[in-house]
Copies of this chain bind each other. A is one copy, B any other.
């Protein structure tokens, strides 16, 4: 038992919003946090539910999204180890504004609203840290709005490919090779459109000679040309 608590304290120490706490404070928090495991696809909570507390990601990834009446989904964020979700509704008393599911096998720590608020009052630095991560979240949301409002699906797809190329692209003779990490359906949810348009726009990139597609692997022949796509949008 004691070891489990220590494990959790170590997990908590790696979470941005809790960095800077003393060991005893972490232990205290660990004692009050509840570990929960989730399987791929399992839902952590749904939009509209009353907010009981926040979750810290120990391992695995979470998918934060909105869903429409017609069955479409819009992904707001994918969060991995060390991040926390639902920090905000904890404070304004409202319900969860979006739904969260596990992407893969995930272990989370649940911290109740009360414990967390008490912690923030006792340790003002924690509140400041929360504000910092929330700032990042807000920036991402504003970025999504900007893309949805000003750009086309083609543009957003190019943008997605380039991001991928930057983070995990491998240089080859023909250009940079990336592997699409998710299904077209999921990709569509992330860039705010439907499956068919992702498929079509990828084909179009290929027929224009910008990329070659082989299964889930995409070779970007001309990085510059793809980047030019971004600038062409106004």
Chain A residues in the interface with B (C-beta under 8 A): 66, 68-72, 74, 76, 88-89, 91-94, 97-98, 117, 120-122, 124-125, 127-128, 130-139, 141-142, 144-146, 148-150, 192, 231, 233-234
Interface SS of A by simple majority: helix
Question: B234, A70: Cβ atoms under 8 Å?
Answer: yes
12 A–B pairs (Cβ distance < 8 Å), ordered by A? A66-B145, A68-B149, A70-B233, A70-B234, A71-B234, A74-B145, A74-B149, A98-B142, A120-B124, A124-B124, A131-B134, A148-B149
Residues of B within 8 A of A146 (CB): 66, 68, 74
Residues of B within 8 A of A69 (CB): 150, 231, 233-234
Q: How far is the CA of A89 from the CA of B131 in the complex (A)?
A: 9
Q: How far is the CA of A91 from the CA of B134 in the complex (A)?
A: 9
Q: How far is the CA of A100 from the CA of B141 in the complex (A)?
A: 17
Question: A97, B139: Cβ atoms under 8 Å?
Answer: yes
Question: A132, B92: Cβ atoms under 8 Å?
Answer: yes
